[in-house]
Amino acid sequence: MLEQATGALRMQRPDEAERLAAAVLKSDRGNVLAAQVLGSALLMRGRPSEAIDPLRRAARRGADPAIETLLAKALAAVGRGDEALDRLRQATSRRPPFSPAFLELGDQLGAVGRFDEAIGVLESGLALTPDAAVLRIGLGYIHLRRNDRAKARGLFLQARAAAPERRDAVVALARVMALDGEYAAAADLYRLVLASRPEDPERSIELAKCLLEMGQREASEAMLRTATRGDARLAGPAIKALAGTPHGRFFLRPSAAAKFLRVETN
């Protein structure tokens, strides 16, 4: 059952993973892996408050940085930021080093504007795990938030050179290129990303923005309609993309924008 729960989580089926992991914990309350799967599934389903107790119980059973990192994510999601940072500092002190803990700590520090601390954390993680491309990409995003696009681009290029197949490195590089006005190059990278995963509305919207900037209005608008696929939750980013470029559109009424995108609203 635990193997099935782990497989369901890997296949992005958090409801099934939650049900199976909870069943394992009913008969074996001390099963740390089951608690980890349950916590991950609850976080994926947007229920962080419910993830805290099982993850906290699992964290008491041993110095597991993966559990501590998940617990920190749940704590941060419910507004307990200081507790989350304490947990992450603990997780980053474990050896061997656990790269996701450094990434999460850097992200959380960056989210509250503590960029220098975030950079220090990610650089220390890279010193311990120099092959961790995810930390290089995370560090690049912190520099991007500080508007240091040159440093961000360099880090993204390093990550992609080390692992050309990494989707997140390609996306990161496309973003900084778009910010630098290199829309054609960014569009090519977004197309590369979408070739392997066409059902990615966020990347489709980013590509559509590049097309708008390049003056390819009809192609962009068609892509935005496809990306939203009638989903009102995606209408906001799509409308922002349309309104945010010189070649886009501006709508006086939300209903007009929804009609243009063929999105049904209540």
Residue 80: exposure state from Cβ atoms within 10 A (0-12, 13-18, ≥19): middle
Considering 32-41, 227-236, 243-252, the range whose residues carry the highest mean pLDDT is: 32-41
Q: Alpha-carbon distance 167 to 115, whole Å?
A: 25
- Which range (26-30, 107-111, 119-123, 260-264) has the least confidence? 260-264
Mean pLDDT computed over 91-114:
97
CA distances from 183 to 147, 161, 197 (A): 18, 21, 21
Residue type for position 224: L
214-239: pLDDT as tens digits: 989 888 888 888 877 756 676 667 67
Predicted local distance difference test score (pLDDT) of residue 121? 98
Q: For all residues of the chain together, what is the average pLDDT?
A: 90
Mean pLDDT computed over 23-33:
92
Other Cβ atoms less than 10 A from the Cβ of 187: the count is: 22
Q: Is 80 exceeded by the pLDDT of residue 42?
A: yes
pTM for this one?
A: 0.85
Helix, strand, coil percent content, the chain, rounded in steps of 5: 75, 0, 25
Cis peptide before 96 (omega within 30 of 0): yes
Other Cβ atoms less than 10 A from the Cβ of 200: the count is: 17
Predicted local distance difference test score (pLDDT) of residue 63? 87
Residue 91 confidence class, pLDDT cut points 50, 70, 90: very high
> What DSSP state is assigned to residue 232?
G
Residue 260 confidence class, pLDDT cut points 50, 70, 90: low
Q: Alpha-carbon distance 137 to 85, whole Å?
A: 21
Predicted local distance difference test score (pLDDT) of residue 252? 44
For the stretch 196-203, contacts whose Cβ atoms lie closer than 8 Å and that sit 24 or more positions apart, written own/partner, are 196/167, 197/167, 201/227, 201/228, 201/229, 201/231, 201/234, 202/237, 203/171
Q: Alpha-carbon distance 149 to 135, whole Å?
A: 17
Q: For the chain, where do the domains classified as CATH 1.25.40.10 start and end?
A: 1-81
Q: Is 60 exceeded by the pLDDT of residue 266?
A: no
Q: Alpha-carbon distance 67 to 69, whole Å?
A: 5
Q: Is 90 exceeded by the pLDDT of residue 8?
A: yes
What is the CATH architecture assignment of 181-266?
Answer: Alpha Horseshoe (1.25)
Contact 55, 71 (CB under 8 A): yes
Class of domain 1-81: mainly alpha
Q: Is 70 exceeded by the pLDDT of residue 245?
A: no
